Structure 1
Amino acid sequence: MSDTAAARLGVLKTYKLHVGGKFPRSESGRVYEVTDSKGNWLANAPQASRKDARDAVSAARKAFGGWSGATAYNRGQVLYRVAEMLEGRREQFTAEVAQAEGVSKAKAAARVDAAVDRWVWYAGWSDKVTQIAGGANPVAGPYFNLSSPEPTGVVAVLAPQESSLLGLVSVLAPVIVTGNTAVLVTSERRPLPALSLAEVLATSDVPGGVVNVLSGRTGELGTPLAAHQDVNAIDLTGAGPELARDLEIAAADNLKRVLRPARTDAAAADPARPAEEDWSADPGTHRMLPFLETKTVWHPVGA
């Protein structure tokens, strides 16, 4: 076969948003180029608009009742199915993480494996978080006093800017395993693993609208989400210090729960540097508990 016959045209990919279980283009029609660490073009990503953010919130609100009403066991099984599918597409995610983060294939594979393990870890917490966030309260009187956690609602999540998959899983999984629905804003420069994760979610058992994925400018999307009256909480991990401060002020208007970005020693020394956690560390439970409300029930003894 000649070299001419063997040559193939490149298949150029333009990703789409993931809203309400569907894959729409950005309402504005905008896209932006995503490049690797050396500046080589990888794909076009949709540049979501404020209208897209509002549509994502509506989809998340619509899905909240069914997802929060599912049994904890069922949510755990659904999340475990996502882990199975991530494992099946391990090579794809390894290539995407290597290109996005500029690391070797071996390091990228280790980060993908850690992300899958992290997803399984959170799936296992679905029917256990109640044991640490609720319980019987001692009271003086002939009453039972029981507290139990319930999901807070729609959570906007600004994904980490540097960790394209492990950090993404670390902020998304704890939101949905506890029964919340999410509007996820991907890393601005490294959105492709998140957009591929949306494709996994769409073909898994996760109901449409439980996770809505938007790519684009973090500041442009974070502002309407922080101010939106139907968003109950916001995770500011992917916001720089100035943007995080502005979004926190906007979130105070309707008393949103706010999870502030952690500050590493290096980030604390340079206030202009984005906060970045050690995503390989033990995650603990601190990302699940902020997005839970506590319901307390009193019941007379013997009744």
Structure 2
Amino acid sequence: MSDATRLGVFKTYKLYVGGKFPRSESGRVYEVTDSKGNWLANAPLSSRKDARDAVVAARKAFGGWAGATAYNRGQILYRVAEMLEGRRDQFVREVGEAEGLSKSKAAAVVDAAVDRWVWYAGWTDKIAQVVGGANPVAGPYFNLSTPEPTGVVTVIAPQDSSFLGLVSVIAPVIATGNTAVVVTSEKAPLPALSLGEVLATSDLPGGVVNLLSGKASEMGPHLAAHQDVNAIDLTGADADLARELEIAAADNLKRVLRPRAEDFTASPGTDRMTAFLETKTVWHPTGSLGASGSAY
């Protein structure tokens, strides 16, 4: 069959929930266009039910992911970087179309995103030494503080930085043992949905990251009020939506990371990792009771 008569195979973009690729529960889609208004694809328009399913998947995955060794989590994050590097050309094209970038600029964004996965992979077994430690106390006790993950974190992804910004907000959440429900950039969701295909082939357990495309204004209030969501990152929310979601999040005392001006090309610090960590402090008797004493 000649190229002139061959029908092209268009990619079907789907959600990534619980390690699987469902269509939106409602069957709704919306058109995604490039910076010039040209049609690129139809993306799933996630519903409230999709958001609830994502929370269920994230909660189910939390115990195993939080209980994995930090070293193992680092290996898996590095594997994400490996798999992403192998599909570099695809992401260069998708990021270029999504953000209106030249091929060279899109390549720089993708390379930075790969490097960001590697950077956080290296931190998984080091962050505890930075934020934990032994505390001086008056008495025959050891007093030790160690970080623990907060739980299920909803992430409103950056709207304009559809890939590097996306990676920059997801990687620190899962590096520290949390699981994530991510609402992707509404206008440029395709790189995020393709990232789901990378995560699915990178040893990351299903449910650790769940990707929902659609309207943050539609899903956000339900996720912010959901009693099984422990924290919310409002990076991609505008001022009005952020205020609404922060009020909803207060109902069950969620941790909230407020939106702020960010340069995702800059070297990241540790603040995004510590934003969703809790501190557990343990007392343990010293001396003759040290071998058989229990923690309090």
Which of 260, 270, 283 is equivalent to 1:285?
270
Q: Structure 1 unaligned runs (5+)?
A: 264-276
Normalization by structure 1: what TM-score?
0.93
The alignment status of 1:238 with 2:223, answered yes or no, reads no
The number of residues matched between the two structures is 288
Shift of 1:256: 0.1
**Is 2:282 aligned against 1:297?**
yes
Give me the CA root mean square deviation: 1.1
1:220 aligned counterpart, secondary structure: helix
The amino acid across from 1:254 in the alignment is N
Following TM superposition, the consecutive aligned residue runs of length 4 or more in structure 1 with deviations greater than 6 angstroms are none
Match of 1:83 in 2: 81
- Per the alignment, residue 262 of structure 1 pairs with 260
**Residue type at the aligned position of 2:283:** W
With structure 2 as the length reference, what TM-score do the two structures score?
Answer: 0.95
Secondary structure at the aligned position of 2:31 is classed as: strand
Q: Please name the residue that 2:294 is paired with.
A: none
Deviation at 1:138, TM superposition (A): 0.8
Within a 5 Å distance, the mapping from 1:222-237 to structure 2 comes to 222-237=220-235
Equivalent in the alignment of 2:293:
none
Query: CA shift at 1:10, angstroms?
Result: 2.9
**Residues 188 and 5 from structure 1, CA distance in 2 versus in 1: closer, same or farther, beyond 3 angstroms?**
closer
CA displacement at 1:135 relative to structure 2: 0.3
What is the distance in 1 between the residues matched to 2:116 and 2:259? 19
Equivalents in 2 of 1:12, 1:34: separation in Å? 14
Deviation at 1:301, TM superposition (A): 1.3
State the alpha-carbon separation in 2 of the partners of residues 135 and 100 from structure 1.
44
Q: 1:291 to 1:5 in 2, by over 3 A?
A: closer
Q: Distance in 1 between matches of 2:72 and 2:46?
A: 32
Letter in 2 for 1:202: A
SS class of match (2:280): strand
List per-residue Cα deviations over 1:100-159 (Å, max 9, x = no partner): 000100000001000000110001000000011100011111111000000010000111
Provide the residue aligned with 2:56 in structure 1.
58
Q: After superposition, give the CA deviation of every residue in 1:67-100 in whole Å (9 maximum; x if it has no partner).
A: 0000000000011001000000000000001000
Secondary structure of the residue aligned to 2:85 is helix
C-alpha displacement of 1:251: 0.1
Q: How does 1:41-190 map to 2 (within 5 A)?
A: 41-190=39-188
CA deviations on 1:26-59 (whole Å, 9 max, x unpaired) are: 1100001110000111111100000000000000
Aligned with 1:191 (options 189, 192, 195): 189
1:212 is matched with: 210
Query: Which of 23, 44, 65 is matched with 2:21 structurally?
Result: 23
Range with bigger deviation, 9-18 or 165-174: 9-18
Distance 2:52 2:176 in 1: 23
How many Å apart are 1:238 and its aligned residue? 0.7
1:222-257 Cα offsets, whole Å, 9 max, x none, are 111000000000000010000000000000000000
Residues of 1 paired with 2:123 and 2:77: CA distance? 10
SS in 2 for 1:55: helix
Q: Is the 8 A contact 1:14 1:46 kept in 2?
A: no
